[in-house]
């Protein structure tokens, strides 16, 4: 009997009538041997990382995190080699999340130091933490939509070209979410909130990080859910997925103590949803601080949601 190889991307076999004589094998992902983006510019600090988004049009367009607070822009023809055009009209001031980065008047340029008369130009387009950028081709006036974390909560901004963003009136869209630990030793803030446009349900969805306390008294990072039909009026975030024994077993198998959900990047796929789940393996908690550990990315899947209902997500 001839053997035929078929690539099945969707991780659910419910639609296969029979699995007789079928052998499933996990696909292999080949990692690019070298980084595709590295810090080179003064305002990038020591890190350039995709807390951000990539949109494919004629070119690949990337909005990435620079120095923890800036939304910087890069572009590429192949997704591997990137350049950072110095196009922005922002002036970079003191590095505080959600503040201190302001528009200059007229044809101003960007500078890493307000006292620097040279005012070197920059690829910084906005100042938010963990930004998501969407391209909505049906919106001719503000097709590029930005959503991210600030010290006042989750904020939005809009742009016609993906470079010049205007903050949304009424920011923050979702007020700052605080969670005080039962011990009283610290207060946790929700910061991760990847956003996608749900094309089936015709709405925007954000998987906001939330927190719950487990039976052992530990504060656990969870996956939350908020939605909007216009990107400016958002529902109050709700917790939809709490880490538990299954995730903790994975963590212990890798030499850690437990695991939290650090974030979930969801998107439409067929009649359901897929998502990239960041599973945070935790070794220990720092006194009056956060946790030490490592993050791995898992593929998560969910069936199609009923209109008006939150959907459960299953790994």
For the chain, what is the domain count? 2
Q: Note the pLDDT of residue 11.
A: 57
**Are 181 and 243 in a shared domain?**
yes
The structure tokens 């359901």 sit at 272
Helix (H) or strand (E) holding 87: none
**Are 185 and 315 in a shared domain?**
yes
Six token digits for residue 304:
């199609």
**Are 147 and 233 in a shared domain?**
no
Q: Note the pLDDT of residue 305.
A: 54
**Are 49 and 170 in a shared domain?**
yes
SS3 152: coil
Q: Which residues contact 56 (CB under 8 A, 6 or more apart)?
A: none
**Are 108 and 189 in a shared domain?**
no
Give residue 206's domain range.
Answer: 177-315
Q: Which residues contact 106 (CB under 8 A, 6 or more apart)?
A: none
Count the Cβ atoms, other than its own, within 10 Å of residue 133: 26
| CA–CA distance, 275 with 194 (Å, rounded to integer) | 10
**Are 145 and 191 in a shared domain?**
no
Q: Note the pLDDT of residue 314.
A: 44
Q: Note the pLDDT of residue 113.
A: 38
Q: 83-110 burial by CB neighbour count: b if 16+ within 10 A, else e?
A: ebeebbbbbbeebebbeebeeeeeeeeb
Dihedral sign for Cα atoms in the order 85, 89, 94, 98: negative
Q: Note the pLDDT of residue 116.
A: 42
The residue out of 144, 174, 204 marking a domain boundary is: 174
- Give the E-state strand segments of 193-303 in sequence order: 195-198, 203-206, 209-213, 219-228, 238-241, 258-269, 272-285, 291-302
| CA–CA distance, 277 with 144 (Å, rounded to integer) | 25
C-alpha distances (whole Å) from 155 to each of 140, 210, 214 are 21, 17, 30
CA angle 275/279/280 to nearest 5° reads 150
The pLDDT tens digits along the chain (315 residues) read 566 766 666 556 666 777 787 777 777 888 888 999 999 998 898 888 889 999 999 999 999 999 888 999 999 999 999 999 998 876 665 444 433 333 332 222 333 333 443 456 899 999 999 999 999 998 999 999 999 999 899 999 999 999 999 999 999 999 999 998 887 778 888 999 999 999 999 999 999 999 999 988 888 999 999 999 999 999 999 999 999 999 999 999 999 999 999 999 999 988 889 999 999 999 988 877 788 999 999 989 887 654 434 444 444
**Are 194 and 141 in a shared domain?**
no
The residue out of 174, 196, 226 marking a domain boundary is: 174
Q: Note the pLDDT of residue 306.
A: 46
The length of the chain in residues reads 315
Q: Are 72 and 61 in contact (CB under 8 A)?
A: no
Q: Note the pLDDT of residue 93.
A: 57
Backbone φ, ψ for residue 149 (5° rounding) = -95, 140
**Are 195 and 282 in a shared domain?**
yes
Closest Cα partner for 237 from 188, 178, 168? Answer: 178
């Amino acid at each position: 009997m001839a053997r035929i190889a078929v690539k099945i991307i969707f991780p659910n076999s419910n639609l296969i009538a029979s699995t007789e004589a079928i052998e499933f094998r996990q696909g292999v992902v080949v990692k690019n041997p070298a980084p595709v983006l590295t810090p080179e510019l003064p305002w990038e600090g020591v890190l350039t990382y995709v807390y951000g988004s990539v949109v494919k049009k004629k070119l690949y367009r990337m909005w990435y995190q620079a120095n923890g607070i800036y939304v910087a822009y890069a572009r590429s023809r192949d997704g591997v080699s990137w350049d950072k055009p110095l196009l922005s009209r922002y002036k970079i001031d003191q590095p505080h999340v959600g503040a201190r980065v302001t528009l200059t008047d007229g044809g101003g340029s960007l500078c890493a130091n307000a006292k620097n008369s040279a005012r070197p130009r920059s690829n910084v387009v906005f100042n938010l933490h963990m930004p998501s950028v969407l391209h909505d081709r049906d919106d001719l006036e503000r097709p590029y939509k930005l959503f991210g974390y600030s010290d006042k909560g989750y904020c939005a901004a809009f742009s016609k070209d993906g470079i010049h963003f205007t903050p949304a009136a009424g920011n923050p869209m979702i007020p700052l979410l605080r969670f005080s630990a039962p011990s009283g030793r610290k207060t946790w803030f929700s910061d991760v909130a990847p956003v996608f446009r749900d094309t089936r349900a015709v709405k925007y969805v954000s998987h906001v990080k939330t927190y719950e306390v487990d039976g052992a008294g530990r504060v656990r990072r969870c996956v939350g859910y908020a939605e909007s039909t216009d990107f400016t009026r958002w529902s109050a975030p709700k917790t939809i997925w709490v880490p538990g024994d299954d995730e903790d077993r994975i963590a212990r198998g890798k030499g850690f103590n437990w695991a939290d959900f650090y974030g979930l990047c969801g998107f439409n796929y067929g009649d359901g949803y897929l998502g990239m789940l960041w599973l945070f393996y935790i070794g220990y908690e720092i006194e009056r601080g956060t946790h030490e550990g490592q993050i791995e990315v898992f593929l998560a899947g969910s069936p199609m949601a009923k209109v008006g209902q939150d959907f459960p997500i299953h790994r």
